[in-house]
Structure 1
Amino acid sequence: MRTPLKQARGLGSARGGAEHFWRQRITALANVPLTLFFLYTLVRLAGADHAAVVAYFKFPISALLILLFVISSAWHMMLGLQVIIEDYIHHEGLKIAALVGNILFTGFFGLICIYAIVKLSLGG
């Protein structure tokens, strides 16, 4: 029979909790103005044709801010889902699969959005 102390001994600290915590808070803080700019962009481009959208994204500041929004949001989403997976999935194999799936999903989501924004900003 193993006592709870015996089970906990040797596990130690992951030494990454504070860094993860601060990354999540920094991305959350960055997402506030970036989300407001994203919403402004959605309202401004509502009903616009393709040429107007391309013209908007050709302006470097617009494209850069939307790129930063996508990167920050995807990273924040990955960090948040990682915490949920680590806290609520207890089977190690399933937890590892979910963590890998989280990275692949958020990475794919981010790359597709970045590709679309870059294509629009280059006139596509």
Structure 2
Amino acid sequence: MHSPMRTPLGRVRGLGSARSGTHEFFLQRLTALGNLILMIAFLVIVISLVGESYNTVHATLGNPFVAVVILLMLLSVTVHMRIGMQVVIEDYVHSEGLKVLAIIGNTFFTVVIGLAGAFAVLKISLGG
């Protein structure tokens, strides 16, 4: 059902009221908090491995707890990055066509980065 108060262009674009950005605003703050906590855990892991042998590092990264921490960090960081870049694109790219292409590119870039990182972590943690 569509609202009679919306313009035809607004209905086509699917843009609602200003409240439609609340989800992204909340998710940006949530991932920022997650990044803080997970980055501290990640740094503790990395610092503990400084100077260790290859086998020790490989065994540590093969630990399921360590792998999950790193995977959660990758997820949180890439989601945070996508939302942040989307806000910049929406604020500073004024051509609609270029804006849509930039948002699509931003989404694909962050998905590729996240999947590449997840693949590397899973490959190491599963003994690859």
Query: Matched residues in 1 for 2:35 and 2:60: separation?
Result: 21
Change in Cα spacing, 1:92 to 1:45, as seen in structure 2 (3 Å) is same
Q: Which runs of 5+ in 1 are unaligned?
A: 1-8
Deviation at 1:15, TM superposition (A): 4.8
Paired AA for residue 74 in structure 2: V
Secondary structure of the residue aligned to 1:85 is helix
Q: Which has the higher mean CA deviation after the structures are superposed, 94-103 or 42-51?
A: 42-51
How far residue 41 of structure 1 moved from its aligned partner, in angstroms, is 1.9
Cα distance in structure 1, aligned partners of 2:121 and 2:41: 15
Of 23, 26, 34, which aligns to 1:22? 26
Code of the aligned partner of 1:17: G
Deviation at 1:14, TM superposition (A): 6.0
Normalising to structure 2: TM-score of the pair? 0.83
1:53 partnered with 2:57: yes
Match of 1:38 in 2: 42
With normalisation by structure 1, the TM-score equals 0.86
Overall identity of the aligned pairs, in %: 46
- Aligned partners of 2:106, 2:69: CA distance in 1, in Å? 24
In 2: Cα distance, 1:118 partner to 1:104 partner: 21
Unaligned runs of 5+ in 2: 1-5, 11-15
1:110 equivalent in alignment to 2:111: no
In the alignment, what sits opposite 1:71?
Answer: 75
SS of match in other structure, 1:123 = coil
**Residue of structure 2 in register with 1:119 after alignment:** 123
**2:115, 2:33 → 1: CA distance?**
22
Q: Which moved more, 1:86-95 or 1:47-56?
A: 47-56
Higher relative contact order (CA 8 A, sep 6+): 1
**Amino acid corresponding to residue 117 of structure 1 in structure 2:** V
Corresponding residue pairs, total: 116
Measure how far apart 1:40 and its partner are.
1.4
